[in-house]
C-alpha cells in the first residue's frame, strides 16, 4: 500500500496521542477515518483538528464511542462505521488504544491489573477478530498493532512493577508475528505490522489514571497517593516517606506533564514513522531512537536486561527519566 488516498482506516484510541496524529496525517493524505475512543469529547477535538483544513469532497471522518476491551462495543463500532462510511470493507486497521497502570500482582487490585491487560491485549485481539472480514473484503489491507518496547523488555525501572502492561505488549508482539504467516496462507493481500514505540509524548499517564479510576479526575485518590508514595520509597527517592499528600499529587502531575512534553519523540513524529513503515510494508516498526537502542541492547545481552546496571546505563544513554 503505497498511498492512503481514497482508503478507509479504522483507528482505536483516536481521541489523543498517536491515535489523534494518525487520524490527522491520514486525513491529510485523503484517507477516510473511523475512530473510536472512550472519550467523546477527545474524539470531537481530533475530528475538529482533521477538519481545520477543508476536507476534500466526499472524505469522511466519523467518531464512535467504544471500549475496546468489550467485544459488543467493537461490533457496534463496526456496524456504525459500515453505515456511516457506506462501506463493507476497510483498508487499514490501527489497533492503537492502550492504557498503563495495574502493574503489580501484589500492590494493585486484580480489577486494575486486568483492566490494563484487557485493553492493551484484548483490544488488539478483539479488534482483529471484529474487523478481519472487512479487511479481507478489500483489494489490499494492512493491520497495524501497537505494542511497545515493553513488548521485548518488561520493565520501566527497578522501583516499579510493570507486569500488566508488559504482559499485554508481549502478547501483542507475539500475536502480530504469528499473524504474518497466517495471513500469507489465508489472506495474502492483507499485511500486518507490530509497532514498538519508545517514550512518545502522549497523555497516557493522565489518561490511564482516569480510565483506571473511572472518576475522570486529574488528581489521585487516597489509595493512589499511598501507592505512589510506596513506589517512590522503593525507588529510593529521598524523603519520599515524609512527603505530604499534596507533595505526592505534585509529583504525579509533574510526571504526567514530563511524559507528554519532554519525550524524545512527539506523537506526530511517531505517527509519521508508523505510516512510512506501512507504506514500506515493514512488519516490525521501532519508533524512536530510544526504542532502536534498547532493542539492540536487549538482543546483545538478554541475560543482563533486568539488572540495575543495564537500566541505569541505558537511561543515562538516552536520557530517560522514568520508573
Which cell is 161 given? 512493577
212: Cα within 13 Å, side-chain hemisphere: 30
Q: Is residue 131 part of a domain?
A: yes
Whether pLDDT at 309 is above 80: yes
Of residues 262, 260, 258, 320, the one with CA closest to residue 291: 320
Q: Report how far residue 316's alpha carbon sits from residue 184's, in angstroms, rounded to the nearest whole number.
A: 42
Q: pLDDT of 2-49, one tens digit each?
A: 999 999 999 999 999 999 999 999 999 999 999 999 999 999 999 999
Same domain as 43, residue 175: yes
Q: Which residue, of 262, 282, 298, is where some domain finishes?
A: 262
160 and 215 assigned to the same domain: no
Rg of the chain (C-alpha set): 20
pLDDT (0 to 100) of residue 193: 98
94 falls within a domain: yes
Active-site residue set: 165
Same domain, 102 and 198: yes
Domain finish residue from 241, 262, 283:
262
* Burial label, 259 (beta-carbon count in 10 A; 0-12, 13-18, 19+): buried
Neighbour tally for 177: CB within 10 Å = 14
Question: Which of 244, 262, 280 finishes a domain?
Answer: 262
Are 111 and 229 within one domain?
no
pLDDT band for position 204 (50/70/90)?
A: low
Question: Does 15 share its domain with 122?
Answer: yes
Q: Are residue 215 and residue 86 in the same domain, yes or no?
A: no
Expressed in angstroms, the distance from the first to the final Cα of the chain is 38
pLDDT at 141 over 90: yes
C-alpha to C-alpha distances, 45 to 52, 63, 240, nearest whole angstrom: 10, 10, 38
Are 37 and 99 in contact by the 8 Å Cβ rule? The answer is no
DSSP 8-state code for residue 16: S
Does 67 lie in the same domain as 104? Answer: yes
Q: What percent of the chain has pLDDT over 70?
A: 91
Distances (CA, A) of 306 to 152, 163, 293: 12, 13, 16
- Residue 250, domain member (yes or no): yes
Answer whether residue 238 is part of any domain.
yes
CA-CA distance, 160 to 235, in Å (whole number)? 7
**Residue 161 sits in the same domain as residue 246:** no
My answer on whether 13 and 86 are in the same domain is yes
Residue 3 lies in a domain: no
Map residue 192 onto helix, strand or coil.
strand
C-alpha–C-alpha distance, residues 118 and 136, integer Å = 25
Question: Is residue 55 over pLDDT 50?
Answer: yes
> For residue 302, what are the β-bridge partners?
none
The pLDDT of 71-76, averaged and rounded, is 98
Q: What is the DSSP string of 219-246?
A: S--HHHHHHHHHHHHHTT-TTGGG--HH
| Same domain? 104 vs 221 | no
Q: Determine the Cα angle at 101 with ends 158 and 228, to 5°.
A: 60
pLDDT range class, residue 190, cuts 50, 70, 90: very high
Q: Tally the domains of the chain.
A: 2
Range of the domain at 155: 8-202+265-318
Q: Helices 289-300 and 308-318 meet at what angle, rounded to 10?
A: 150
Please check whether residue 301 lies inside any domain of the structure.
yes
In contact, 82 and 65? CB cutoff 8 Å = no
The predicted model gives 266-285 an average pLDDT of 97
User: Does residue 2 sit within a domain?
Assistant: no
Separation of alpha carbons 311 and 154, rounded Å: 12
- CATH number of the domain where residue 16 is located: 3.40.50.720
Predicted confidence at residue 297, as pLDDT, reads 96
Domain identity same for 276 and 174: yes
Same domain for 227 and 97: no
Residue 206's pLDDT band (cuts 50, 70, 90): low
In a domain, 209, yes or no: yes
Q: What is the pTM of this model?
A: 0.88
Picking from 211, 200, 166, the residue whose alpha carbon sits closest to that of residue 69 is 211
Amino acid at each position: 500500500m503505497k498511498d492512503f488516498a481514497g482508503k478507509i482506516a479504522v483507528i482505536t484510541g483516536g481521541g489523543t496521542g498517536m491515535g489523534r496524529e494518525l487520524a490527522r496525517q491520514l486525513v491529510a493524505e485523503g484517507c477516510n477515518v473511523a475512530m473510536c475512543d472512550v472519550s467523546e469529547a477527545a474524539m470531537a477535538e481530533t475530528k475538529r483538528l482533521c477538519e481545520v483544513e477543508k476536507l476534500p469532497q466526499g472524505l469522511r471522518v466519523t467518531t464512535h464511542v467504544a471500549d475496546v476491551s468489550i467485544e459488543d462495543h467493537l461490533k457496534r463500532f463496526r456496524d456504525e462505521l459500515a453505515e456511516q462510511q457506506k462501506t463493507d470493507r476497510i483498508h487499514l486497521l490501527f489497533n492503537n488504544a492502550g492504557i498503563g497502570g495495574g502493574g503489580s500482582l501484589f500492590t494493585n487490585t486484580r480489577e486494575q491489573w486486568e483492566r490494563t491487560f484487557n485493553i492493551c491485549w484484548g483490544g488488539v485481539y478483539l479488534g482483529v477478530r471484529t474487523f478481519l472480514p472487512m479487511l479481507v473484503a478489500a483489494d489490499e489491507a494492512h493491520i497495524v498493532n501497537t505494542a511497545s518496547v515493553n513488548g521485548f523488555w518488561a520493565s520501566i525501572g527497578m522501583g516499579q512493577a510493570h507486569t500488566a502492561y508488559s504482559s499485554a505488549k508481549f502478547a501483542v508482539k507475539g500475536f502480530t508475528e504469528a499473524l504474518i504467516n497466517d495471513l500469507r496462507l489465508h489472506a495474502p493481500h492483507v499485511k500486518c505490522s507490530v509497532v514498538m514505540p519508545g517514550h512518545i509524548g502522549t497523555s497516557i499517564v493522565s489518561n490511564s489514571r482516569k480510565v483506571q479510576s473511572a472518576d475522570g479526575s486529574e488528581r489521585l485518590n487516597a489509595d493512589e497517593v499511598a501507592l505512589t508514595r510506596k513506589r517512590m520509597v522503593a525507588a529510593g527517592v529521598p524523603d519520599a516517606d515524609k512527603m505530604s499528600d499534596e507533595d505526592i499529587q505534585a509529583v504525579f502531575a509533574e510526571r504526567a506533564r514530563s511524559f507528554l512534553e519532554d519525550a524524545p519523540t512527539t506523537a506526530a513524529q511517531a505517527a509519521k514513522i508508523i505510516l512510512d513503515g506501512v507504506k514500506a510494508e515493514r512488519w516490525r516498526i521501532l519508533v524512536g531512537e530510544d526504542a532502536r537502542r534498547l532493542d539492540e541492547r536487549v538482543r546483545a545481552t538478554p541475560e543482563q536486561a533486568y539488572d540495575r546496571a543495564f537500566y541505569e546505563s541505558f537511561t543515562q544513554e538516552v536520557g530517560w527519566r522514568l520508573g
